Amino acid sequence: MIRRLLFAAAAIAAAPLAPAAAQDVAIVNAKLVIGTGDGPIEGGTVIVRGGRVVAAGQGIAVPAGMETIDAGGKWVTPGIFAGFTRLGIVEVSGVSQTNDAAAGDSPFHAAIDVAPAVNPRTSSLALNRAEGITRAVVAPDTGSSMFAGQGAIIDLGADMDAVTVPRAFQFMEYGEAGSREAGGSRPAAYAFLRNALMEAQDYARNPASFADRGPDAFLTRLDAAALVPVVQGKVPLMVHVERGSDILVILGLREEFPRLKLVLVGATEGWTVAPQIAAAGVPVIAKPLADLPSSFESLASTQSNIGRMQAAGVTVAIGTINNDESHQARWVKQYAGNLVGLSRVSGATGLDWGHAFAAITSGPAEALGMGDRFGSLQPGRHGDVVIWDGDPLEIGSTAVAVYIDGVAQPLETRQQLLRDRYLTPPDGQLPNAYRR
Amino acid sequence: MSGAPTDGGVWGDLILLRMTIAIGAAATLMACTPDGGGTQSAGSTTASSSSAKDVQRYSRDPYPSTYHRYPGAPTLVTNVTIFDGEGGRIENGSILFRDGVIVAVGTDIAAEPGVTVIDGTGKYLTPGIIDVHSHLGDYPSPSVAALSDGNEATSPTTPEVWAEHSVWPQDPGFARALVNGGVTTLQILPGSANLMGGRSVTVKNVYARTVQGMKFPGAPYGLKMACGENPKRVYGSRGRMPSTRMGNIAVDRETWARAVEYDRKWDKYEQEGGDSPPSRDIAMDTLRGVLDGEILVQNHCYRADEMAVVMDMAKEFGYHVTAFHHAVEAYKIADLLKENDTCAAVWADWWGFKMEAYDETDANLAILENQGACALIHSDDENGIQRLNQEVAKARAAGRRAGIDISEEQAWTWAAINPARVLGIADKTGSLKPGKMADIVLWNGNPFSVYTRPERVWIDGALMYDMNDPSRRPVSDFELGQPGGGNFN
């Protein structure tokens, strides 16, 4: 009894706004960015009603009686949509009990669903929320197979309802990592992949007759079931792939499995096969600044990768695979800014500001086929809005107000509390443990 | 697990979190014959004794630097905003350098005949960035086992290994650090699997055929030490000591006690002579160098309480910790660090990858600076080293959010004179003062902006990178004929 009460009290303290109804809010006098490739316009207004964007632009009237925030000319943008993360499923990466990204000893793979693991009180959620990240792709990591499992779209709101879209995609590794998981070679990985998709087709034809062959099988019933919507094209198959030739192999899967809805992740050599990616109509969530031949599958790495792919007509967004994706989604702002800076480097191809910002807002949403729901301030999108004290891509700019589904969010973080405790030297009156 | 563990690039860290048990024989301690040469590094306190004519001293510098500066035109940059690296700022400034050294810095320097004049209007000029924590060369790209040479993780104390014997001078990372990062000097360290990981090497960021060709002339060696989770995890998981933090310190103390004894024997021999020199121990040579103040301790450590213990251990055995690296909790003990004259080399915002990196604040650097401790930025990462200017900018911004207003020119010391001090080369580089090495970056805008990149980089007055001249851009052997061809921008 006492324990329950304590737990309830802690819950309220940790999430003072929860549960909160979606809000109506109007933000006026904004330096406004819609998030679809546009630069800022002055004197903009955003109207959020029932948690959704109703209107955004210039010359928009505020409905009578709506709570109105005067942005005072500050930047107002859609919240950042982090294109590839493990937010909410890891507290401390090296402390295995707190790390739900991968399950090396599980008999399951494609069936694994991150949604139940997402903990809205993970401290990295608060940190990234305070940095203006409002929504994120959350992918599991591979453990015992090239299939990692089913990822989710989450919001970073300070409430207990983080998962917006469970089972939003299936994530898998190809290339070097996939080969490792599949037994040691690319042909083995390719065979495993084709076999899994064929088994999923079998399962779809007659679930009742699909014999569960237990943990020794390539696919358990649950894994096969999870791959059915993938092979049917109802759920995207997100594939981490780096090497140019590997990208072409993955694109070629659709000859045998024509309904596959592919999304490429990483793709450091994407620029070398950009026309083929564009022709296939497959979107890419790319590593933003990878410029080292960090492996033999990324020998052609260049910071111009994203710019060149975009110039070739590829739908491209920024994601941070293999780059502390469980804690540092905030870095995507800096990365996008660097791609703008790259435009000023002789011989390089970067992005203009509008497209760089779109690559971390509408871009990931578009890549997942959810651009009509998230990532911009177009009408009908989730009311994720951030007011900034400066250019959001510039270092040092800070989110001064964050709304998720129209709800104003707390911006306090554990990191700030630590900072304030030690901001001045000990005064000798009481230990630092009494400062709070 | 997916991909390479660039996650944090904390080579000593995330690689170790995932590494398989190393296979291989324990390092063999070779007893070497003294070379009788008496080549000594500067600053040796045990060097000379008139009564010991026949004393056989071992070489302190058996792999000497063969680096030489490349030719450079006398150059005057005018109308440029200068951060001098020591906290000074000059608007509409000028700088003249010639024959590898800085001649004058000010506002009103006349162009002499034969001097190349560059108009720096709208641009910024700083000393070259110095990174005190890199694994370029010993954990190079591509990150394959065959090139993974940073951790001799076969014994918890390996002061006998030297990073320079691992460094692959063709690492493509050096070019990125130069072109994107404006890095002109870096310290390459062994990893942090071991309590005593071995000697570091400080290099100029200039490609050479040999590591000797990169070595910074006259730079002292460092000893990489590590406390905390890594050594106890690596060795504890093998059922051997250390498996706890107290085990870490116990093994350290036992090793230092032996080193003190070794130092005493050799001091006595070098001062008084004798029938034959004491037996040689390559591991103890390194620790003796530390006790004699010739080799600087570069100590990987995260937690505040552990740093305090390590500083007491240094006093116990008579050495000094030059800098703690990573030092995520340094902000908790700014006063202690200041009191011990020990610097903290930190990231701007890394955290959460392991337990000892949990109590992070982006204001770490600003709090240290504000409380008078020596603080600086570092990368420990082949990607982060390309954007240390931005890391400085982040740390400064975090300070401002906390009400600590540090000027841009003061914050630049975190990438300039402070790292030079940590490497023992502050008399040679790290700031724009007449007589110092002309290690200089001209930025195409304010380097505190995310939109700014190096436009030209000079090392010892030689133009080693020019954004607008493809012939002034290095490509490592590894990248020739490869799909990327070294065109990484």
Q: What are phi and psi of B194, to 5 degrees?
A: -105, 155
Determine the distance from the C-alpha atom of residue A425 to the mean position of all C-alpha atoms in its chain, rounded to a whole number.
39
Structure confidence at residue A215 as a pLDDT band (50, 70, 90)? low
A125-137 pLDDT, tens digit each? 999 999 999 999 9
- Range A231-240 average pLDDT: 98
Q: Chain-wide mean pLDDT for chain B?
A: 91
In this model, does residue B460 exceed pLDDT 70?
A: yes
Structure confidence at residue B3 as a pLDDT band (50, 70, 90)? very low
pLDDT at residue A3, as a whole number? 33
Least confident of B14-18, B279-283, B343-347, B379-383: B14-18
- The one-letter amino acid at A182: A
Determine the distance from the C-alpha atom of residue B455 to the mean position of all C-alpha atoms in its chain, rounded to a whole number.
24
Least confident of A213-227, B35-49, B468-482: B35-49
A189-207 pLDDT, tens digit each? 999 999 999 999 999 999 9
Q: Answer positive or negative: Cα dihedral of A291, A297, A300, A303.
A: negative
* SS3 annotation, B92-153: EEEEEEECCEEEEEECCCCCCCCCEEEECCCCEEEECEEEEEECCCCCCCCCCHHHCCCCCC
Distances B246 to A41, A226, B13, B195, B228 between C-alpha atoms, Å: 60, 48, 20, 12, 10
Distance CA A321, CA A287 (A): 7
Distance CA A91, CA A127 (A): 12
How distant is the Cα of B313 from the closest Cα of chain A, in angstroms? 23
Question: In terms of Cα–Cα distance, which of B142, B137, B134 is closest to B164?
Answer: B137
Distance CA A359, CA A355 (A): 6
Distance CA A377, CA A368 (A): 17
Residue ranges of domains in chain B: 128-426
A324, A395, A416 ranked by CB distance to B353: nearest = A324
In this model, does residue B27 exceed pLDDT 60?
A: no
Distance CA B2, CA B27 (A): 32
In this model, does residue B170 exceed pLDDT 90?
A: yes
CATH fold, domain B128-426, is TIM Barrel (3.20.20)
Q: Let me know: does A407 contact A382? Beta carbons within 8 Å.
A: no
A435: exposed, middle or buried (Cβ count in 10 Å: 0-12, 13-18, 19+): middle
Give the global pTM: 0.93
Please state the domain count of chain A.
1
Q: Chain-wide mean pLDDT for chain A?
A: 94
- Range A322-351 average pLDDT: 97
The reply to whether A381 falls in a domain is no
- Range A288-312 average pLDDT: 98
CA atoms within 13 A on the CB side of B352: 28
The reply to whether A1 falls in a domain is no
Omega into B172 within 30° of 0, i.e. cis? no
What token pair was written down for B190?
A: 């062994």
CA atoms within 13 A on the CB side of B220: 25
Do residue A420 and residue B3 have CB atoms under 8 angstroms apart?
no
Q: Let me know: does A422 contact A415? Beta carbons within 8 Å.
A: no
pLDDT at residue A144, as a whole number? 87
Do residue A292 and residue B383 have CB atoms under 8 angstroms apart?
yes
- Return the residue in A133, A289, A292, A420 with the most chain B beta carbons within 10 A, the one to mutate for interface testing: A292
A4-16 pLDDT, tens digit each? 333 333 333 344 4
Question: In terms of Cα–Cα distance, which of A125, A153, A134 is closest to A327?
Answer: A125
The fraction of chain A above a pLDDT of 90, given in percent, is: 91
How distant is the Cα of A52 from the closest Cα of chain B, in angstroms? 31
Q: How far apart are the first and last CA of chain A?
A: 29
Q: What is the CATH number of the domain that holds A358?
A: 3.20.20.140
Chain B residues within an 8 Å CB radius of A395: 390, 393-394, 397, 448-450
- Tally C-beta pairs within 8 A across A and B: 196
In this model, does residue A210 exceed pLDDT 90?
A: no
pLDDT at residue A4, as a whole number? 35
Give exposure, A11-24, as e/b (b: 16+ Cβ within 10 Å): eeeebeeeebebbb
B5, B383, B397 ranked by CB distance to A289: nearest = B383
Q: Let me know: does B79 contact B57? Beta carbons within 8 Å.
A: no
> Looking at chain A, which residue has its C-alpha nearest residue B398?
A396
A37-77 pLDDT, tens digit each? 999 999 999 999 999 999 999 999 999 999 999 999 999 99
In this model, does residue A259 exceed pLDDT 50?
A: yes
Give the DSSP H or E segment for B329. none
A187: exposed, middle or buried (Cβ count in 10 Å: 0-12, 13-18, 19+): exposed
- Range B391-411 average pLDDT: 98
In this model, does residue A185 exceed pLDDT 50?
A: yes
A391-400 pLDDT, tens digit each? 999 999 999 9
Chain B residues within an 8 Å CB radius of A296: 142, 144
pLDDT at residue B44, as a whole number? 40
Do residue B487 and residue A394 have CB atoms under 8 angstroms apart?
no
Total number of residues shown for chain A: 436
Residue B251's SS3 state is helix
CA atoms within 13 A on the CB side of B227: 30
B211-226 pLDDT, tens digit each? 999 999 999 999 999 9
